[in-house]
Amino acid sequence: MINSDTTNIDYENPIEIAEGIYWVGFYDAKSGLHCNPYLIVDNEEAIVIDGGSRPDFATVMMKILQTGLEPHQINALLYQHYDPDLCGSIPNFEDIIESSSLRIISDESSLMFIRHYSASSQMVSIEDVNYHYKFSSGRTLQFIKTPYSHSSGSFVTFDQKSGMLFTSDIFGSYGTEWDLFLKLRPQCIDCVSLTKCPSNRENCPINDILNFHKIIMPSRKALKYALKKMLEVPFTAIAPQHGSIITDRNIMRYIFEQLISQKEVGIDRIIKDENSLNFSNLRERFNTDEH
C-alpha cells in the first residue's frame, strides 16, 4: 500500500511512503538535484537504499534515527550504482553502524569501484544472492539489471510487498520545482507540446525528466532496454533517486511513452550519424604504410 497523501508533509522528518519504507532525504527548495535515499525497516532489520552523499549524511542519519531505528539494526547498504551522490557517505555509515556483519550490496562491476569508499564492510554482489534480498520475515527485494542506464552495473530494486520499484537515476529529474510525489495537472498528462507549454507554465516537470535522461543516460538503446526490463515487473509506484516519486498510473504510462520515444539520448545527441566517424586516414596517422 503506497501512501501518497501529500497533505501536511513535513520534510524535516522521515516520510513513510509505504509500509516500512521511508524517504530519508535532504530537502532544499532551491536545489535542482534532490537526492532520495530510502530506508526499509522490517521488524528488527533495516536496509538503506542509495544512502547519499557525504554532505547530506547528517540529515539522512538524523531522519533514520527519527524512525526509532538504532544504527546497528541496519544490516545492509544497497547501491544501485556507484556514483558519489549515492555512495559518498559509506564511511560515515560504517562509522556509526560499527558492525562487522554490515554488508554492501551492489552489482559486481559496481563493487569494483564502491570498494574504494569502504573500509570495513562485506561486499556482496547481487549475482551472489541470485538477484534477491530476503529479510527474516520473508519480505523480498528483487534486483533487475538495467545495464548502462546509466552505469554498466546499474539495476533497479522491486519490493514485492509494497509494489515499489526503486529505480535510482531512471525516472530521475533535475528541476527547480520539487515535491516528494509527482503531481500533474490533468491537461499536462498526454501533452504533446513539450517545447512550448500550452498553459504557459515556466517549468515543465515532464521536460525536466526527459532532459535529465537525455544528459545522464549513455544511449537510447540502453535506456529503452532498461524501460523494457522495468515493464516486466508488476510495480505500482516508482521511487527514483532524484526527482519525485510517481504513483499515478496515467503519469507513469505517459512518462514511459515519452522516454521510449526519445531519439537523442546520451551519445546519440552528439553523434547523429555514425558514418561521420571516418577512420580512412588511420594508417596515414601512424605512417604505417611506409613500412
For residue 261, the minimal CB distance to Fe ion (Å) is 23
Longest Cα–Cα distance of the chain, Å, equals: 77
Minimum Å distance from CB 130 to Fe ion?
Answer: 25
Closest contact distance (angstroms) between CB of 203 and Fe ion is: 20
How distant, in Å, are the alpha carbons of 101, 138, 200, 202 from that of 194?
49, 44, 11, 12
Q: Minimum CB separation from Fe ion for residue 50, in Å?
A: 8
Q: Are 155 and 79 in contact (CB under 8 A)?
A: no
- Total residues at interface with Fe ion (CB under 5 A): 4
Nearer to Fe ion, 157 or 241 (CB): 241
Residue (83 or 268) nearer to Fe ion, CB:
83
Segment 95 to 154, residues that bind Fe ion, using CB under 5 A: none
Interactions with Fe ion, residue window 155-184 (CB under 5 A): 169
DSSP three-state, residue 213 = helix
Q: Per-residue string for binding with Fe ion, 50-89, x by CB under 5 A?
A: ---------------------------------x-x----
Pairwise CA distance, residues 74 & 51, whole Å: 12
For the record, the C-alpha cell of 118 comes out as: 569502504
Question: Between the CA of residue 235 and those of 46, 153, 157, 214, what are the distances in Å?
Answer: 21, 21, 10, 24
Query: In the bound complex, what is the minimum distance in angstroms from residue 223's beta carbon to Fe ion?
Result: 13
Q: Which residue has the cell 556514483?
A: 83
| Window 216 to 245, contacts with Fe ion (CB under 5 A) | 241
Q: Which residues bind Fe ion (CB under 5 A)?
A: 83, 85, 169, 241
